[in-house]
Each structure stands twice: as C-alpha cells, then as structure tokens.
C-alpha cells in the first residue's frame, strides 16, 4: 500500500519548479463518462499523464453512468478512447497498470443506492489501492444536474474528507450558468456542498501552453512591458475562429450561442491575462487578484448596434466541401436565432488601458481554425519619409499565436531591398515547433494533474465567473431585442457588421 509520506517529496516541490510534479495517492470519479468530452479529452489525458509517470501507482478511475456495465466494459470504453485520442504512444505495460484501477458504478443521479455503491467502491479503493481518502469528482454533466449530484455526494458522505490529511474536490465544466443570476445560483449550489477551495472550474484555455506563455512573455522579459499600455498600444484584437460547424451539438448550443459558449469564459480569460498588472508572485491568490481587478475594470462599449456584431452561418462551400447552414443542421430549430459568430468591443478602465479598445470575436465555420491575441501598436508619431515610401506600412503588431501554429509573430516595417526607399511590413516569427523539441501537453493533462495536486492557479474562482457575466450581460440583453443574427457565408470571416464595427473607427480585423 502506498502512503502519503512516500509521495510528498518536499525537495521536488520546493527546490526546482522545472521538475515534474507527481500526484500523490488519489482517485478520480467521472460523472458523464459516456459523453464526448470524457471520450475525447478526459480519458486520453489520464492515460497520457500515466504514460508520463505523473500519476501515483495506485491511481484509480471510477466511471459513473446509467449503463449496465461491468468494470471490464468500462475498461474497454476507456481503451478505445485512449487508442483513438491519446497524445502519447500506446504502451501495453502502462495501460495494464492503469487499467487495474478502473471501476464502474452503474446508476442514476437520483438513486441513493447508486451513490451508496459509489461510497463503498471508493472505500474499497482506499483499502485495496491506497488512494488514501483522496478523491476528485469530475462533473462532466449539464449544470442542471449539479444540484442533484452534489446533494447525493454530500448525502453519501463523499464530499467531506475524513481527516485533515485527506481531500475531496469537485471539478466542474462550463457553462457556469447562462447569465449572472443563474451563475450566482449555481455557485451557491456547489459551494453549499464543497467549499470554494475544493472547487475546480475548468476553463481549458488556461491549460494551453501558449496561454501560460503569455505570463512568461509579459513578466519574464523587459522588452514588452514598457510598451504594453495606452501610450503605445492602439487596440487589442482577440480572435478565436473555428472552421467546424455545429452538426451534432444542437443539444448544447442552440439557445446558448457563441458569446456564452466562449467569450464569457475563454476570451475574457485571455483578455484578463493580456491586460492584468504583474502579480506579486505566481501564487494562486496573487494571480487571481490581478485577473479580478482587470475584469472589474472591464466594460462593454456601446452603442451596441455599432460596436458589436452577431452572425449565423449559412450553407455553402468550405474547403471544397458542401456544408449546411446552421438552420439546416440536425436539431436546430428552423427559427433559431442562436448566433454562431459574435464580436464585441470592450474597454478596460485602468490607467494602463484607458482609451484602448479590446475587440473580441469568435465564430464557427470561419475561414480557418485559429486563436490569437494581437496587440496592435500606434503608428510612429512622425515618418520622415515620402508618403509613397510608407504606403504599404501597416501598424506594428505583436501576435501571440495560441493555436494551431503555436508561437509569436512580430510585425514591423522594413526597407525593401533596392535603390529606392520603400518600407513594407515584415514578420519575425517564434514557433514552438522550431524552438523546442518537447511537444506541448494537452490542456486537459495539465488541468487534471493540477486538480489532483490541489494546485488552483489555473482555475477561475466564482468571482471571475460572475464578473465575466456582468461584462457580457448588457450586450446579451441588447441582442435579445435586436432581431435575428446576420447571415454569413461558410468559410468567410463573419458577417458584414463585424467589418463595419471596426471600420467605423478606421480599424480593421486581421486576416490570420
Ligand atoms: C469549447 C467550446 O469550450 O471550446 C466549443 O464549447 C469549442 O464550442 C471548443 O469548439 C474549442 O476548443 P479548442 O481547444 O479546440 O480551441
């Protein structure tokens, strides 16, 4: 049996942050284990962590679902998910050892007996595999099921650790509500059973390597921070574009839309990391304090008819393939006004950012899949050239390429070779693929490991969730009264109104 002592290695934790951290004895229970997220992301991430030696030997994975499965059937499901979606190579020995810790509990959320069986299963694991009373519960289920599941966990005595050396944690996935008041209510439901320090809210963008690199870029260098303010920055554009459509996702997406799906969480978190002040340290509270300060200072800019845009993709051709429009996708109401494209203008009312617009946009079925943060600089105050020499000179920009081509680009003007003086934009690129031999772990690997380690830095607290809803809500209210979203052709960069919202101030969206 493994004991806590064997695993807590203070030298590793305290001395050198470059060394990998290995989770102590523990287990993970997944609710919603038959869902897409679990198959595509969670199960593969668990295997990848195990393959990298970051899980304890007695690690146990319990699946809970309304299926008549034995442990072996569950094992087969995990096996298929891992074979199909894991990032690291399949190794028989790693798999065999991991699979010894698989258990399945059949049941429904409202059935006391199923949760009692879960409690017995967990107690058995503590005894047989040394999970030592440390368990995380991953709620990969619709928020409407949070109240019943958290209540059941409390009733079955699973939500509270038996002693000071044990822990119980809950992991929740967005959507954290669909507006401010439902988010407040949801937070109350969860906090009634789990104290805030035991709640881990997943925003998987925060687990992405390039997103964490924003902190390194800004705070480990001297080069960027002096110009990271309204004296030099003209505006910031944060884009999350996807080329996929919403086939198969109507159940989740219809009535939710692009702004609630990703602006409320991923894009506002990216804004917070871009705009926040330097934290006093990288301890979780210091980081959150700074993010919260920025979110408190962030407001949408109106009039929304001109400063925001909302679109819905139409059928057409994309990448040589015929694709359906949203209203033809299975499961979407023919009258659906759900937006698949959203763009908003924000201001950050701090000394550093006053007067600098932050433009956020996201959409499905756009030209290509790309997420980036572009800090666009003001023009030089004076250009001692003939006007024709600088005709093709744009604005300097620093672009953090979040995905898929992870890295950074700097855009600036350079002389075109030749006798004449002609200045044109060029790019200087840093690419993860070229600079490092290691490949980046999947966001879910990082985040699941952090849950098991009890490392909360990358998980938004309820205050951040509520502030993000406060920022978005005036725009959502306006859209509700503003009729249907504007159609845009698949494979383009969104509706015309998105271009107009930029051109009214003489700016334009980047074409990544
Ligand atoms: C999810 C959204 O949070 O992020 C999806 O619900 C979106 O609509 C997905 O497709 C994109 O994630 P990634 O990591 O592929 O950019």
Each residue's pLDDT tens digit, 375-412: 999 999 999 998 899 999 999 999 999 999 999 999 99
* Cis peptide bond prior to 214, omega within 30° of 0: no
Which of ligand 1's atoms lies nearest the C-alpha of 403? 16
Contact indicator for 392, 423 with CB cutoff of 8 Å: yes
- CA–centroid distance, residue 405 to ligand 1 (Å): 16
Question: Would 472 be classed as within a structural domain?
Answer: yes
**Same domain membership, residue 250 and residue 157:** no
- CA–centroid distance, residue 242 to ligand 1 (Å): 9
Which of ligand 1's atoms lies nearest the C-alpha of 253? 8
Express each pLDDT in 204-245 by its tens digit. Answer: 999 999 999 999 999 999 999 999 999 999 999 999 999 999
Please enumerate, by residue number, every residue annotated as part of a binding site for NADP(+). Answer: 66, 174
**Same domain membership, residue 382 and residue 234:** yes
Domain boundary among 173, 198, 223: 173
Cross-strand bridge partners of residue 135: 27, 168
Residue nearest to atom 8 of ligand 1 (CA): 261
**Tokens for 152?**
């059941």
Express each pLDDT in 153-204 by its tens digit. Answer: 999 999 999 999 999 999 999 889 999 999 999 999 999 999 999 999 999 9
- Give the relative orientation of helices 268-275 and 462-481 as an angle to the nearest 10 degrees: 120
Return d(Cα 2, Cα 16) in angstroms, integer.
24
Residue nearest to atom 10 of ligand 1 (CA): 242
pLDDT for 440: 86
**Same domain membership, residue 139 and residue 274:** no
Confidence (pTM)? 0.94
Of 116, 136, 146, 138, nearest to 32 (Cα)? 138
- CA–centroid distance, residue 168 to ligand 1 (Å): 28
- How many domains are contained in the chain? 2
**Tokens for 271?**
């804004």
What CATH code is carried by the domain that includes residue 56?
3.40.50.720
Rg (CA), the chain: 24
Domain boundary among 173, 188, 218: 173
- Give the confidence band of 15 by pLDDT, cuts at 50, 70, 90: low
Question: Would 182 be classed as within a structural domain?
Answer: no
* Cis peptide bond prior to 303, omega within 30° of 0: yes
**Same domain membership, residue 108 and residue 237:** no
Of 226, 28, 281, 250, nearest to 139 (Cα)? 28
What CATH code is carried by the domain that includes residue 414?
3.30.360.10
Question: Would 426 be classed as within a structural domain?
Answer: yes
pLDDT for 203: 96
Residue nearest to atom 13 of ligand 1 (CA): 205
pLDDT for 14: 60
- Comparing 13-27, 282-296, 362-376, 475-489, the range with the smallest average pLDDT is 13-27
Question: Would 105 be classed as within a structural domain?
Answer: yes
Question: Would 4 be classed as within a structural domain?
Answer: no
Helix boundaries (H) for 241-359: 250-253, 257-258, 268-275, 284-297, 304-307
**Same domain membership, residue 367 and residue 408:** yes
Domain boundary among 173, 188, 219: 173
Which of ligand 1's atoms lies nearest the C-alpha of 174? 3
**Same domain membership, residue 219 and residue 146:** no
Please enumerate, by residue number, every residue annotated as part of a binding site for substrate. Answer: 204, 208, 242, 261, 364
Residue nearest to atom 9 of ligand 1 (CA): 262
Residue nearest to atom 7 of ligand 1 (CA): 262
- What average pLDDT does the chain have? 94
**Same domain membership, residue 292 and residue 236:** yes
Pairing of strands 27-31, 168-173: unpaired
Return d(Cα 344, Cα 475) in angstroms, integer.
8
**Same domain membership, residue 91 and residue 149:** yes
Best residue for ligand 1 mutational test, from 208, 266, 370, 371 (most atoms within 8 Å of Cβ): 266
- CA–centroid distance, residue 390 to ligand 1 (Å): 40
**Same domain membership, residue 166 and residue 217:** no
**pLDDT higher than 90, residue 7:** no
Which of ligand 1's atoms lies nearest the C-alpha of 371? 16
**Same domain membership, residue 265 and residue 138:** no
**Same domain membership, residue 245 and residue 110:** no
**Same domain membership, residue 167 and residue 211:** no
Residues near ligand 1 (Cβ within 6 A): 204, 242, 261-262, 371
- CA–centroid distance, residue 243 to ligand 1 (Å): 11
Which of ligand 1's atoms lies nearest the C-alpha of 242? 10
- CA–centroid distance, residue 138 to ligand 1 (Å): 18
Question: Would 165 be classed as within a structural domain?
Answer: yes
**pLDDT higher than 80, residue 9:** no
Question: Would 246 be classed as within a structural domain?
Answer: yes
Question: Would 19 be classed as within a structural domain?
Answer: no
Domain that holds residue 134: 27-173
Helix boundaries (H) for 136-179: 146-155
Residue nearest to atom 4 of ligand 1 (CA): 262
Residues marked as catalytic: 266
């Amino acid at each position: 049996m493994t004991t806590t002592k064997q695993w807590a290695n203070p030298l590793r934790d305290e001395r050198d942050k470059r060394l990998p951290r290995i989770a102590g004895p523990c287990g993970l229970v997944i609710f919603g284990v038959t869902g897409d997220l679990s198959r595509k992301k969670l199960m593969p991430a668990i295997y990848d962590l195990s393959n990298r030696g970051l899980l304890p030997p007695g690690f146990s994975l319990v699946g809970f679902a309304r299926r008549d499965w034995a442990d072996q059937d569950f094992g087969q499901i995990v096996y298929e998910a891992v074979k199909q979606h894991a990032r690291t190579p399949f190794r028989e020995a790693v798999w065999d050892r991991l699979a010894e810790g698989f258990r399945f509990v059949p049941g429904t959320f409202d059935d006391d007996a199923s949760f009692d069986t879960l409690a017995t299963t967990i107690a058995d694991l503590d005894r047989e595999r040394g999970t030592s009373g440390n368990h995380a519960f991953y709620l990969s289920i619709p928020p409407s099921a949070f109240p019943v599941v958290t209540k059941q966990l409390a009733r079955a005595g699973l939500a509270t650790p038996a002693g000071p050396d044990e822990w119980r944690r809950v992991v929740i996935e967005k959507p954290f509500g669909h507006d401010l008041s439902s988010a407040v209510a949801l937070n109350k439901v969860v906090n009634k059973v789990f104290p805030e320090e035991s709640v881990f809210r997943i925003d998987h963008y925060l687990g992405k390597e390039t997103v964490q690199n924003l902190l390194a870029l800004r705070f480990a260098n001297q080069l960027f921070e002096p110009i990271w303010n309204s004296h030099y920055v003209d505006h910031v554009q944060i884009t999350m574009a996807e080329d996929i459509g919403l086939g198969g996702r109507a159940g989740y997406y219809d009535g939710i839309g692009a702004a609630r799906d990703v602006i409320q969480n991923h894009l506002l978190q990216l804004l917070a990391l871009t705009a926040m002040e330097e934290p006093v340290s990288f301890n979780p509270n210091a980081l959150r304090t700074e993010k919260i300060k920025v979110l408190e200072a962030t407001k949408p800019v109106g009039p929304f008819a001109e400063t925001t845009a909302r679109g819905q993709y139409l059928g057409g051709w994309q990448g040589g393939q015929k694709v359906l429009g949203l209203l033809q996708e299975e499961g979407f109401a023919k009258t659906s006004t759900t937006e698949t494209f959203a763009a908003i203008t924000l201001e950050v009312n701090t000394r550093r950012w006053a007067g600098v617009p932050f433009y956020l946009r996201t959409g499905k079925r756009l030209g290509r899949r790309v997420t980036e943060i572009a800090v666009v600089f003001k023009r030089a105050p004076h250009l001692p050239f003939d006007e024709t020499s600088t005709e093709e000179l744009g604005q300097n920009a620093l672009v953090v390429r979040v995905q898929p081509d992870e890295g950074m680009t700097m855009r600036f003007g350079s002389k075109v070779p030749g006798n004449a003086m002609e200045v044109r934009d060029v790019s200087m690129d840093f690419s993860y693929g070229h600079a490092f031999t290691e490949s980046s772990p999947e966001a879910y690997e990082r985040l699941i490991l952090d849950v098991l380690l009890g490392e909360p830095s990358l998980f938004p607290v309820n205050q951040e969730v509520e502030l993000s809803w406060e920022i978005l809500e005036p725009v959502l209210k306006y859209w509700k009264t503003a009729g249907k979203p504007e159609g845009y052709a698949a494979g383009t960069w969104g509706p015309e109104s998105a271009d107009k919202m930029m051109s009214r101030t003489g700016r334009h969206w980047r074409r990544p």
